[in-house]
Amino acid sequence: MRYAIDAMNLHKINDEVFIALDPIVKIGGDELTFLKTQALANDRKRARICAHKTNEDTLHEMVIAISAQSYIHPHKHLGKSESFHIVEGEVDVVIFDDEGAITDIIELGDAASGRNLYYRLSESAFHTLLIHTDFLVVHEVTNGPFVRDKTVLAAFAPPEDRLVEARAYVQQVAGRAAAFRRTAKNA
């Protein structure tokens, strides 16, 4: 299925993923509104426009809208780097060790937030998002190709299909993150 937003042509892969077909990809307010609408309409509450054309591309760039209702299962990417540039919203990227203990929190926000607006994770470390605004919109860059088996879901966290447990887990992580900040501040 194809969509046209202003001058951008999109190919729908599924309810969350749209591929920009034009050789020059431009994303503005209309596209962000489209992504948010699509995110609210699907089960996982997120949607993306991929500027790369295939999973085999060596560079993957995406603009992703993620509702605060979305649960991002802690995960790590084997042999990949990942960077986020915040377009809209505020989020804490929580980094865990392999047992699920918090090792770092990266506070990010758009330029008006006063927070850092960019981060890069250059190692394979478990991470998740604690979204503090109704929506988070990020420009994500990672190296390809995308191989599903190279993404490891943390065994210490509930899977996405157990939504009640996942919501409780997010609340637990938020409490642990607050304690981590207090400890780091007093150190």
Sign of CA dihedral 149, 22, 84, 134: negative
**CB–CB of 136/113 below 8 Å?**
no
* 3-class DSSP assignment, residue 42: coil
78 CA to centre of own chain:
17
For residue 4, the model assigns a pLDDT of 58
Q: Which two tokens stand for residue 81?
A: 């780097």
Name all domains of the chain by residue range, CATH numbers in brackets: 2-186 (2.60.120.10)
Place of tokens 């937030």: 113
Quick check: 27 and 88 in contact, CB under 8 A?
no
Question: What are the CA-CA distances from residue 25 to residues 5, 141, 179 (Å)?
Answer: 12, 15, 42
pLDDT for 87: 98
pLDDT digits (tens, 9 = 90+) for 146-155: 888 889 999 9
Distance CA 4, CA 8 (A): 6
What's phi and psi for 63, nearest 5 deg?
Answer: -110, 125
Structure tokens at 169: 């887990």
pLDDT category at 185 given cuts 50, 70, 90 is confident
pTM over 0.85, yes/no? yes
